[in-house]
Structure 1
Amino acid sequence: MSATLDNDRLCQRLPDAPTIVSEGRAFPVERRYQPLATHLRFDEAVAMATAELLRNENGSLLLFLPGVGEIQRVHEHLASRVGSDVLLCPLYGALSLEAQRKAIVPAPAGMRKVVLATNIAETSLTIEGIRLVVDSAQERVARFDARTGLTRLVTQRISQASMTQRAGRAGRLAPGICLHLLAKEQAERAAAQSDPEILHSDLSGLLMEVFAVGMSRSGIAFLAGQAAGGESSGRPPFIIDVRRAGGRAVKRAGPENGGNG
């Protein structure tokens, strides 16, 4: 299973589901920790740490950054710090298919590659030739604010599970090295698991559909419990004032209400 999945919690939620364990091949990964230089801007400090690792180690490198802006700025700083034998390849969802393919395929003979990626490269693909990983330990996530009805992007520290997942990208094809750009003590204090995305998403559209199809109160309560992770404290973001969502609840005419369903 994915390193970012809380297997124990999933089994608690689905107690009757069978569990199948398949041990995949993984090479050893040396995990290093190095705080960023405080006198430099984030982008420049990341580029400096990445260039230093490239000078001291062989192989292509995967660099995890929180967003497109950071990828572009670190790309600029790295361009003046690496040799002509190093290809710099951005990788994020908005790129063309051709540009994404360039980042994924092996580097030409005699060349090395640095792939600057968002967390799209954390779980969904394997990049050929990677044996070095630099982890900024940051990610950008969408957070829905039920008070304002708006979704905003927030940059935050990743969980320990995500750090483990990112480190694992260095050991897919050969023994590798992962450099986490924070102190080891900070990494150990990070959350063990990431919050489920459903807890921070705008689900008002789902709420409208639930009302429209005439789901029972017990069904809505069950759905709310799943979104809240089975915990009674707090409420999921789709338990909102329907009027603020710009709509109204309409009682559907079903057989129990004298309708035809």
Structure 2
Amino acid sequence: SATINPTRFLQFFDRPQSKPLEVKGRVFPVTCIEKPPPSNCSEHKLIESHIVPSVIELYSHHEGHTLVFLPGQGEIQKALKMFNSKLPDNCTALALYGSQSPEDQEKVIKFNDKNKRMVVFCTNVAETSLTIPNVRLVIDSGWAKEARYDVKRRVTVIETVRISRSSADQRKGRAGRTASGHCVRLYEDVELKRPNIEPEILRSSLDLVLLQLIRLSLDPNTFPFMDQPTSDVINQSVELLTKLK
């Protein structure tokens, strides 16, 4: 599963001499190859022209269940509809995303039809939050939905962004939880520009965070955040809270 950066935490809490405890789980080898779309494949036709055809092709050459990582619910429903129209024998196609009901998520997690293999079209909720047994193949589109607070417009917007390298590694690792597996990245490695996901506090509204600090009689401008927001963002939230007082 996902892990923190222990060095940063030790430095933040001023415990450089402490040693982190590491509990290693059993990890199976996962081979990884790249299968980027052809140069003439436009982004708005990526699902029908490259992703779904790749899933159909790769499914027939691998064992176990398959995870297909897509950015969001809309892309999942589109891919699911196309894949179902060409559904291979002995295959069940399901969706998995954060806003699903617990009952729908349970269908994926507790899938136990031994006569069928499962292809799960999922978002990054399957990176770390949920574990699906017997996944042997991961097909990674390399995209994710990310919420970001627009300081100028004072609204949160949802953007489709290229994932970080740490997210790519998490997705790859899903194929090696219970046995050796395979990961196919539908993009080139050079497209992974970010080593890690940007901390949520640096891309979210600070209004409620600062309100809590003020209630505790703490100064937002001197509070030691582990990931320090800019003074402009802090001052804007303080200004808004002052007006609402």
Q: 1:47–1:78: 8 Å Cα contact kept in structure 2?
A: yes
2:234 maps to 1:247: no
Counterpart position of 1:226? 226
2:69 maps to 1:43: no
The AA in structure 1 aligned to 2:33 is R
Q: 1:138–1:158: 8 Å Cα contact kept in structure 2?
A: yes
Q: TM-score, normalised by structure 1?
A: 0.83
Counterpart position of 2:108? 103
Q: 1:134–1:181: 8 Å Cα contact kept in structure 2?
A: yes
Q: CA deviation at 1:124?
A: 1.5
Question: What is the CA–CA distance in structure 1 between the aligned matches of 2:14 and 2:211, rounded to whole Å?
Answer: 30
The AA in structure 1 aligned to 2:198 is D
Counterpart position of 2:86? 81
Question: What is the CA–CA distance in structure 2 between the aligned matches of 1:93 and 1:158, rounded to whole Å?
Answer: 17
Counterpart position of 1:122? 127
Question: What is the CA–CA distance in structure 1 between the aligned matches of 2:137 and 2:67, rounded to whole Å?
Answer: 6
Counterpart position of 1:259? none
In structure 2, relative to structure 1, the CA distance for the partners of 1:210 and 1:65 (3 Å cut) is: same
Q: Secondary structure at the match of 2:157?
A: strand
Spell out the pairing of 1:99-248 with structure 2 (5 A cutoff). 99-187=104-192, 190-215=193-218, 217=219, 220-223=221-224, 225-228=225-228, 234-235=230-231, 237-240=233-236, 242-244=238-240, 247-248=243-244
Instruction: Give 5+ residue unaligned stretches, structure 1.
Output: 250-261
Q: CA deviation at 1:82?
A: 2.7
In structure 2, relative to structure 1, the CA distance for the partners of 1:243 and 1:9 (3 Å cut) is: closer
Q: CA deviation at 1:208?
A: 2.6
In structure 2, relative to structure 1, the CA distance for the partners of 1:241 and 1:124 (3 Å cut) is: closer
Instruction: Give 5+ residue unaligned stretches, structure 2.
Output: none
Question: What is the CA–CA distance in structure 2 between the aligned matches of 1:150 and 1:245, rounded to whole Å?
Answer: 15
Which of the pair has more CA radius of gyration? 1
Counterpart position of 2:9? 10
Identify the range of structure 1 (58-67 vs 35-44) with the bigger mean alpha-carbon deviation.
35-44
In structure 2, relative to structure 1, the CA distance for the partners of 1:23 and 1:209 (3 Å cut) is: closer
Total equivalences in the alignment = 239
RMSD: 2.2
Question: What is the CA–CA distance in structure 1 between the aligned matches of 2:231 and 2:31, rounded to whole Å?
Answer: 41
The AA in structure 1 aligned to 2:226 is Q
Percent of pairs identical after alignment? 32
Q: 1:202–1:238: 8 Å Cα contact kept in structure 2?
A: no
Counterpart position of 1:32? 33
Q: Deviations over 1:85-121 (max 9, x none)?
A: 1111101122222211111123412210011111111
Question: What is the CA–CA distance in structure 2 between the aligned matches of 1:236 and 1:100, rounded to whole Å?
Answer: 41
Q: Deviations over 1:47-77 (max 9, x none)?
A: 1111111022122101111110011001011
Q: Secondary structure at the match of 2:166?
A: helix
Q: CA deviation at 1:207?
A: 1.9
Q: TM-score, normalised by structure 2?
A: 0.88
